[in-house]
Amino acid sequence: MPTTTEAETQSTEGPRAAAARLTGREVNGERSLSATLAEVTLADGQVVMAKRGDGRGAVRAEAAGLRWLADAGTVRVPGVYGHDERWLVTDRVPSGRPDPRTAVRFGRDLAALHAAGAPAFGAPPPGGPTEAYIGLAPMRNDPGTDWPRWYAEHRVLPYVRRAVDDGALRSAGAAVVERVCERLPGLAGPAEPPARLHGDLWNGNVLWGADGHAWLIDPAAHGGHRETDLAMLHLFGCPHLDRIIEGYQDTAPLADGWADRIALHQLFPLLVHTVLFGGGYADQAVAAARTALTG
């Protein structure tokens, strides 16, 4: 744990100072991209990304997730130069454009990442906290061996309860989602081993690099069901998604009926969005629950 003085320094310093401290290298300049993210140019001309967290463990979770994904040697992820409770410094990914060939390669690499496996459903990355995050929402990584039970207890029902308590989800809608949880053993499809998931795989966390590869950023990594990552890609759309699935299927064919289970796996991110943003996400979550029930 950092001392009081160190914690105060981390909370007040800017991205330039944080990058210099965590890389141990001199810095020439910075370019702010948002309130929490900046490009920092090191003295040798290399550009890195400095991202500020809120000090609640999210940075440690993200850094551990990036390293765990990188250890699989499959999908490209930015290297981690250093982190503390407040700042994360990583490689910058030079931007390219999405194209069908890169999409097929990404699908193959994603299948290989999932096949690298995890010790259990809900297992955190090595060195990662149990109390992690998906975006700005808390996400608890409690290991389990039975996916339907684990998914209900740790990825669906906690967000249903919070959404109801916050007034974002009505009790009638919650009852529909709870019915899905009761029927999960029969809706989940064939048993799958725990996969090494990115965990927050929406289009914004897929960067199409200038090197002809897709890169993954901002993970909420944990052990889970591989169809969950694919359902997230379908939720908000992704360029050349059909080619991504083609590459995935060529490498590790999905179980029969996987497309019919997309809505089931989308319950988790939709409920997270309901908790964070309210609005129409509650209706989308209930609609996904109804689809999961009817097939």
- The catalytic residues are 200
H helix runs in 55-99, sequence order: 58-71
Angle between helices 241-251 and 100-115 (to 10 degrees): 40
Residue type, 251: T
Q: Which residues pair with 208 in a beta bridge?
A: 214
The pair of structure tokens assigned to 84 is: 């503390």
- Distance CA(52)–CA(37), nearest Å, equals 6
The 8-class DSSP code of residue 153 comes to I
- Distance CA(73)–CA(161), nearest Å, equals 38
Pairing, β 87-91 against β 80-83: antiparallel
Chain centroid to CA 27: 30
The 8-class DSSP code of residue 205 comes to G
